[in-house]
Structure 1
Amino acid sequence: MSMISRREKGSDVSPFGRMDRLFDEWFRALPMRRPFGPDWPGEELIRIDEYREGDTQVIKAELPGIDPARDVEITATDGMLRIKAERRIEQDREDKGYTRHEIRYGSMTRTLPLPENVSESDITASYANGILEIRVPMPPEPEVKKPTTIPVSSS
């Protein structure tokens, strides 16, 4: 005789999946955020999509709830692109009597390598609907020169 067990909708199938989910929830509740240094991929890391569109490298960064003119800084130097953003705390936050407060505030950063020979002055950025889009024009492919054959003379 087989036993049929009832699973709740959206629950993990394996006991390891449930354990992973419980560990993730426990870890997020800890007061420390970066136990392994500033570049540890925790929640302060800006999530991105990066892809090629023709001759342009496109980087889309998820940054909802920020003012791009005031809270975003993008720099390109030494072949690296750095995105720094800050989500500011609401002033009337203490008066609301929260039941749950999960929205993260504070600084976020992401540093990405740029392709070789990119003109840093040609990089553009725009912000719409919580998505920061950075467009990096790719340099033309270097022309591959055919080797020159040098004749050898005999004396």
Structure 2
Amino acid sequence: MIRIEESQESGTYTVRAELPGVDPDKDVEITLDRTGLLTIHAERSEEEKDKEHSEFRYGSFTRRISLPEGIKEEDISASYDKGILTVTAPLGERTTTARRIEVSKQD
């Protein structure tokens, strides 16, 4: 499992994910579907060395995060530094407003 931190400040929503030991150019894929679900997929390959003991995890890792309403999808960006993937998304105005819905009576 990919461990994450989520935060929101100054009109920006940020997701930070721990992904040590991966090459972000080759091993990481980030997608956003039309329902606002962000998917982070990474693969870590095992080195071909003789080991007596290893607790490292290898293979495919996927994490899905529901983004808040109002995200400006076209301005989402990602960066990778020292094993941490950071995805930032600017927040726009919410498209829905609260309103009262009248109930009609059936005769």
TM-score greater than 0.5 by the shorter chain = yes
- Residue aligned with 2:68, SS: coil
Q: Partners in 1 of 2:30 and 2:7 — Cα distance?
A: 18
Identity of aligned residues (%): 47
Q: Once the two structures are superposed, what CA deviation does each residue of 1:18-51 show, in whole Å capped at 9, x if it has no partner? A: xxxxxxxxxxxxxxxxxxxxxxxxxxx1100111
Partner of 2:72: 119
Q: Partners in 2 of 1:142 and 1:67 — Cα distance?
A: 37
The structure that is strand-richer by fraction is: 2
Structure 1: gaps of 5 or more residues: 1-44, 145-155
Partner of 2:100: none
Which residue of 89, 99, 118 maps to 2:46?
Answer: 89
Partner of 1:56: 12
Q: Once the two structures are superposed, what CA deviation does each residue of 1:88-129 show, in whole Å capped at 9, x if it has no partner? A: 121x22xx2x22111110000100001113222211000000
Give the 3 Å change call, closer, same or farther, for CA 143–104 of structure 1 in structure 2.
closer
- Residue aligned with 1:102, SS: coil
Q: Partners in 1 of 2:94 and 2:85 — Cα distance?
A: 27
Deviation at 1:54, TM superposition (A): 1.0
Give the 3 Å change call, closer, same or farther, for CA 79–100 of structure 1 in structure 2.
same
Structure 2: gaps of 5 or more residues: 98-107
- Residue aligned with 1:110, SS: strand
Which entry has the higher C-alpha Rg, 1 or 2?
1
The structure that is helix-richer by fraction is: 1
- Give runs of ≥4 in structure 1 deviating > 4 Å: 141-144
User: TM-score under structure 2 normalisation?
Assistant: 0.82
* Higher relative contact order (CA closer than 8 Å, sequence separation 6+): 2
- Residue aligned with 1:121, SS: helix
Letter in 2 for 1:47: R
User: TM-score under structure 1 normalisation?
Assistant: 0.58
Give the 3 Å change call, closer, same or farther, for CA 48–143 of structure 1 in structure 2.
closer
Give the 3 Å change call, closer, same or farther, for CA 117–141 of structure 1 in structure 2.
closer
Deviation at 1:143, TM superposition (A): 9.3
